[in-house]
Amino acid sequence: MSEDRATSAVPPQGAYVPAVVHGGMVWTAGMTPRRNGQLLVRGTVGREVDVATAREAAGIAAGNTLTAVAEALGSLDAVERAVKLTVFIAAVDGFTEHAAVADGASAVLLERLGDRGVVARAAIGVATLPSGAPVEVELLAAVRR
């Protein structure tokens, strides 16, 4: 198992795995906008990070969830459909553009999965996220049997 973590395109930042497959479903860990383990965007939306940048960061994080899924299943072809997308947004008090930020994650799912990427979605405002990330995305998908 440690070999999988060492070679993962989305290396865990703690004691967990990027994705778990069980019972015909795959769940991802929360993914932030990282490349090669490095956080690309840091800050609070509405303060250091504007909505356009947060939307792009959500897309990067969503791409990381798809990478974790592809690694766990061997290919995105094994995804029957994405089911639930949750986007956490570290935002200033009074921020109300959660959906606009989360649309960046939804766009990546649609681009990479087509109709299989249409999901139920939650966009949730929070005070802080790991490593100072502005967004964190997690995905639940059904696996082809």
Q: pLDDT at residue 3 above 70?
A: no
Mean pLDDT of all residues belonging to the chain = 93
Please list the helix, strand and coil fractions of the chain in percent, rounded to the nearest 5, in that order: 40, 30, 30
Helical (H) or strand (E) element with 137: strand 135-143
Sequence-distant (6+) residues with CB within 8 A of 143 are: 21, 24, 25, 26, 73, 78, 79, 80
Q: What are phi and psi of 41, to 5 degrees?
A: -135, 135
pLDDT tens digits for 20-39? 999 999 999 999 999 988 99
What residue spans define the domains of the chain? 2-143
Beta carbons of 91 and 99 less than 8 angstroms apart:
no
Token pair listed for 40: 């690309």
pLDDT bin (cut points 50, 70, 90) of residue 134 is very high
Q: What is the pLDDT of residue 145?
A: 79
- Superfamily the domain 2-143 falls into: RutC-like (3.30.1330.40)
Task: Give the residue, 117 or 2, on which the prediction is more confident.
Answer: 117
Q: pLDDT at residue 5 above 50?
A: no
Q: pLDDT at residue 9 above 90?
A: no
Q: pLDDT at residue 8 above 80?
A: no
Q: pLDDT at residue 53 above 90?
A: yes
pLDDT bin (cut points 50, 70, 90) of residue 13 is confident
Instruction: Write the DSSP assignment of 55-90 as a string of letters.
Output: HHHHHHHHHHHHHHHHHHHSSGGGEEEEEEEEEEEE
Q: What is the pLDDT of residue 64?
A: 97
